Amino acid sequence: MKVTLIPGDGIGPEVSRAMVRAVDAVTGGKIEWEEQLAGSAAVDAGHSPLPAATIQSIRQNRVGIKGPLQTPIGGGWRSVNVSIRQALDLYVSLRPVKSLPGPSKSRYSDVDVVVVRENTEGLYSGREHEAVPGVVEALKIVTQKASERIVRYAFEYARANGRHKVTVSHKESIMPLSEGLFLQTARAVAEDYPFTDVEYLGLDNLVMELAIDPHQFDTIVLGNLDGDVVSDMCAGLVGGLGMVPGANIGKRYALFEAVHGTAPDIAGRGIANPIALILSAELMLRHVGERVAAKRLRGGVERLLADGSTLTGDLGGSASTAELTDALLEAL
């Protein structure tokens, strides 16, 4: 089985090496990794930020996994992450957020929330222009087609994974046309799932309730910008972006990723925490049907964290990336 591997920028290559070692251990080395470039690494090698060969590799292999990619602030190039999602129509951003054992910065325990975010339109459509000097307009694109398929994915995911409630979040009170279309479409889709509880919650109310008690939520589905913010907030409920996996899923292709940044301040020092990308690999293994290997990988991570003796600095330890990975392989 071939899988496209994009190591990424900053700490990306370090956490990617750790992930590959862990996945090879639980699969017996059955994955053939096809390494491709994107982001700053591609530009440094004389290519565009998103080489055609990288997109073609994912199209051929149907599945890929990547480390974090740099997006220059205020110039340079457009987000490669957004470009990949749009090029491959990866309309689902899937972010399972679950408490893990061991030390954590979280104030909560036993959190188990899945955030399903629309990934291709909304204010992230990339359509903005300067109307007149000093005035910029950004277009928010919402379609019935995209709204229906993301809400249906959330309900299907809930049903397939033994989850019992879907929360549809919106801001219809302020944007009655765009958010109203999303909400109206969600209500129509919900009629097809009479055995799944559904609630409709304004975005501001949702974030307040998440802060008060995240245990009341199960599966949350939102638009693009709203989902981007809420998924990162939910990551904070379990200790931060270094502890949660991410996936971008479409009808034909899927790309799994670490959702944290490139951490240039520690890049190359061998001290980065690879847990997020390793858990993203667990999602990837489940996606391709390697459920036994995925369960072993998740179990190894949980045992490693519960033991607590070999952790990186962000988790309160002093281990290097390689030392943590060695300990994970022992835990497997």
Domain ranges of the chain: 1-94+243-332, 112-236
Q: Is the pLDDT of residue 75 over 70?
A: no
Backbone φ and ψ of 95, nearest 5°? -130, 90
**Burial class of residue 156 in the structure, from the number of CB atoms within 10 Å of its CB (0-12 exposed, 13-18 middle, 19+ buried):** middle
In this prediction, residue 106 has a pLDDT band, given cuts at 50, 70 and 90, of confident
Share of the chain above pLDDT 70, in %: 99
Share of the chain above pLDDT 90, in %: 93
Q: Is the pLDDT of residue 74 over 70?
A: no
In this prediction, residue 107 has a pLDDT band, given cuts at 50, 70 and 90, of confident
**Quick check: do 1-94+243-332 and 112-236 share a fold?**
yes
Q: What is the pLDDT of residue 105?
A: 76
Span 247-262, mean pLDDT? 96
Q: pLDDT digits over 159-186, tens only?
A: 999 999 999 999 999 999 999 999 999 9
pTM for the model stands at 0.94
In this prediction, residue 194 has a pLDDT band, given cuts at 50, 70 and 90, of very high
Q: pLDDT digits over 120-168, tens only?
A: 999 987 788 999 999 999 999 999 999 999 999 999 999 999 999 999 9
DSSP state string for 135-200: EEEE--B--HHHHHHHHHHHHHHHHHTT--EEEEEE-TTT-TTHHHHHHHHHHHHHTT-TTSEEEE
Minimal CA–CA distance to 128: which of 119, 140, 117, 116? 140
What are the Cα distances from residue 296, in Å, to 13, 95, 101, 292, 325? 23, 20, 16, 6, 15
- For the domain spanning 1-94+243-332, the CATH number is 3.40.718.10
Q: pLDDT digits over 285-331, tens only?
A: 999 999 999 999 999 999 999 999 999 999 999 999 999 999 999 99
Greatest CA separation found in the chain? 62
Q: How far apart are CA 82 and CA 37, in angstroms?
A: 16
Candidates 3.40.50.720, 2.130.10.10, 3.40.718.10, 3.30.1330.10; CATH matching 112-236: 3.40.718.10
Q: Is the pLDDT of residue 87 over 90?
A: yes
Query: Which residues lie across from 256 on neighbouring strands?
Result: 65, 247
